[in-house]
A = this chain, B = another copy of it.
Amino acid sequence: MRLKKLGFEKVFSETLSEEVGVTSSQVRKDFSIFGITGNKKGGYQVDPLLVQMDQILKKDQIHQVVLVGVGNIGSAILKYRAFEEEGIRIVACFDIDPSKVNPNKKVPVYKIDELESFVKEKKIRIGIVAVPDVVAQQVCHKMIQAGINGILNFAPIKLKGGDDTVIESVNITRKLENVIYFVNNIS
């Protein structure tokens, strides 16, 4: 990260916290939980710290992900650069629209019907839902049935999954409405 590039060899919880925008307590606590230790006086060594963080977040592995829905948002996510350096790789897309299907692309786009067999064969466990809200729950079901148990959802609805499934939602409209609400009321 930036600190490394700047040539720091060691870093204090205080410095890190300012960088990330949290408290120094937070940093120390998190490190403690994950077993990252520092020196009572010298702070944390940057090099081993980075290695440990990568291991914890499993950035040293490639995480295979499927994407359902190649519309506006889906396409944007597909092109999203930041994933690569976090070890995240979208290995296939699925869409209901036949005109979008194209198995010859670098990241192939298949028919939605092929989701289950693909996911099972490749043992994928993570899926991204970028479809209109009316079909989102349905897609979610299909994913879980196929064996996926982690979903990132861009549809503006609350998806229901099983107990052994995490579903994180990104509700852009809601976020923007929060901002609007604040601007109109508080300030």
Q: Which residues of A contact B (CB under 8 A)?
A: 20-21, 57-58, 63, 65, 72-73, 75-77, 79-80, 82-83, 86, 88, 125-126, 128, 149-152, 156, 158, 160, 164-166, 168, 170, 172-173, 175-184, 186-187
Please state the number of chain copies in the assembly.
Answer: 2
**Which B residues touch A172, using CB under 8 A?**
77, 80, 82, 152, 170
A73 CA / B80 CA spacing, docked (Å): 8
- The answer to whether A152 and B175 have CB atoms under 8 Å apart is yes
Tell me if A173 and B21 are in contact (CB < 8 A).
Answer: no
Known pairs A172-B80, A173-B88, A187-B149; A126 contacts B73 (CB<8 A): no
Whether B166 lies near A183 (C-beta < 8 A) is yes
Q: What are the 7 A-B residue pairs with the smallest beta carbon separation, nearest first?
A: A76-B76, A21-B158, A150-B183, A150-B179, A166-B182, A72-B76, A72-B79
